[in-house]
C-alpha cells in the first residue's frame, strides 16, 4: 500500500516537472531568437584613426586603447574591440 501512494506522488512530481520544463522552454526560445537575430554591438568609427593616433602621441598617451586592426578606440576592459 505504501508503494501505491509513492507512485501517485512520483506521477504528480513528473507532471509538474514536465509542465515546468515546457513553460521554461516557451519563455527561453523567444529570447534566444531575439539574441540570435540582433546584431552584435560593434564599435563604430567616430574619428579618423590617423588623427587619433597623432593626438594621443602628441599628448604622450599610451596606444593600448587603440585597436590597430579595426581602427577604433576600445575600452580598457576588452581584449579585442
Residues 6+ apart with CB under 8 A from 76: 65
Q: What pTM was computed for the model?
A: 0.44
Q: What is the pLDDT along the chain (81 residues), one digit of tens a residue?
A: 456 677 888 889 999 999 999 999 999 999 999 988 887 666 666 778 888 888 888 988 778 778 777 777 777 777 666
pLDDT for 17? 96
Closest by CA to 53, choosing from 66, 43, 41, 44, is 66
What is the DSSP track for 42-53? PPPP-S-HHHHH
Residues 6+ apart with CB under 8 A from 44: 72
Q: Cβ(58)–Cβ(50) under 8 Å?
A: no
Amino acid at each position: 500500500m505504501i508503494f501505491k501512494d509513492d507512485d501517485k506522488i512520483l506521477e504528480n512530481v513528473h507532471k509538474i516537472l514536465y509542465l515546468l520544463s515546457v513553460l521554461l522552454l516557451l519563455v527561453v526560445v523567444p529570447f534566444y531568437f531575439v539574441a540570435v537575430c540582433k546584431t552584435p554591438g560593434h564599435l563604430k568609427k567616430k574619428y579618423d584613426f590617423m588623427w587619433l593616433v597623432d593626438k594621443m602621441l602628441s599628448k604622450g598617451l599610451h596606444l593600448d586603447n587603440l585597436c590597430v586592426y579595426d581602427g577604433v578606440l576600445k575600452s580598457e576592459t576588452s581584449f579585442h574591440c
